[in-house]
Structure 1
Amino acid sequence: MTTPALPAEAVIGRRIAFSYRDDLRHIPRDQVGTITAIADDQPRCLRIRLDGARSGIYVRPDYENLRYLDEIITVPVLPMGRFTPTGAEAGFDHAFDGVSVVEFEEGDMAALTPDRAKAEAAIATYLREVHGMEDESEIRDQVAELRLRNVVFEWQPEDADVDWHVRFDAEGFDGAVQIHYLPAV
């Protein structure tokens, strides 16, 4: 494994423009970001964080779709700890009537509202539009299982597998929010 030589421009804090060839990650081409770390023991030694993203990606310093920009900044610190989601965070890809819905890897879901009627409407719409459910009695049976839960959302470090984690054992925690939770069947 040979590590490519680092050009003089490859410094922490350097602003960059980056483009994916196949655009599989749904990030617009020529996205800008910042070099956040350099690991000189591997070929993909530049960790870059694209603007608006929480996690970094590793690229080779000579990658053809990487362009070094003139500006050098202080690397922005990522927020850590508990937060109240707005629905704009990664993972919240559906909203109905102002209520964000998230589906976890295991298939369980949550509507970010303490209002049961709004949670039912949001989850029902999600089941119709995302899961393609057409049987209204099946949808009613599903939303009947919604449970009000107190949870906290916590940011994870930059190199974590996920941007945030939710703790369901949050009764009485500072920053706890109420959601309606639908366990996977």
Structure 2
Amino acid sequence: MPDTTTLPAEAVVGRRVAFTYHRDLKKPGNALPGVITDIDTEQRAALRIRLDGSRSNLHVFPDYEGLQYLDQVGPVPDLPMGPFKPSSQHPGMDFEYDGVLVIEFEEGDMVAITDDLAKAEAAVATYLREQAGVDDETDIREALADLQPQYAVFVWQPEDSECAWLMNDADEGDGKALKVHYLPAA
């Protein structure tokens, strides 16, 4: 049977909090704002906290030293859903070169989010060198020859989905579509 937890009166769904990761406890000014989204009193880490700008919950002990309960209580904001414009602040989009995001998917295919072929080539080549460890320039040139321009829509998925977002093919006339350069897996 799991340990049950006694909650402080401030621990209510919708309460704004400031959360500091353990590694940052000794560093002032590193608290991140968030909100309590759920409470499970059957678990010691009873609080589910979603930091602002995040799409997933942290499981937190109600008495964790890096948790500060703030005065504001309100409704839990809905997660953004539907199409969005990707940025390096989004999960899984952590490589950017000269303003171009490059994303490698689990299957090994990649996408450079730009309508400019030259920028896509430079960003993908840099990704291949720096992130994928490709050091043979012939291999890089051959990969770049396979870059395909296409239109895509990036769509947020529900919080409990396997992926935070999906990239779907789109038509040029779709108002939410972005022109990208796609590199199929070898």
TM over 0.5: yes
Matched, 1:46 2:43: no
Q: Hey, what does 1:146 align to over in structure 2?
A: 147
* Alpha carbons 1:11, 1:35 under 8 Å: kept: yes
Q: In 1, distance between residues paired with 2:42 and 2:158? A: 21
Q: Hey, what does 1:118 align to over in structure 2?
A: 119
Deviations 1:32-77 (A, max 9, x none): 3111122344333211011232221222323343232233243222
Report sequence identity in percent: 53
* Alpha carbons 1:55, 1:160 under 8 Å: kept: no
* Alpha carbons 1:152, 1:177 under 8 Å: kept: yes
**Unpaired runs of 5+ in structure 2?**
none
Counterparts of 1:145-184 in structure 2 under 5 Å?
Answer: 145-168=146-169, 170-171=170-171, 173-184=174-185
Q: In 1, distance between residues paired with 2:98 and 2:180? A: 15
SS across alignment from 1:139: helix
Taking structure 2 as the reference length, what is the TM-score of the superposition?
0.84
SS across alignment from 2:22: coil
Q: Hey, what does 2:11 align to over in structure 1?
A: 10
Aligned length: 180
* Alpha carbons 2:6, 2:41 under 8 Å: kept: no
Q: In 2, distance between residues paired with 1:20 and 1:71? A: 21
* Alpha carbons 1:18, 1:67 under 8 Å: kept: yes
Q: In 2, distance between residues paired with 1:35 and 1:173? A: 37
**Superposition CA RMSD, Å:** 2.3
Counterparts of 1:91-106 in structure 2 under 5 Å?
Answer: 91-106=92-107
Select between 63-72 and 102-111 the one with higher mean Cα deviation.
Answer: 63-72
Taking structure 1 as the reference length, what is the TM-score of the superposition?
0.84
Q: In 2, distance between residues paired with 1:52 and 1:3? A: 30
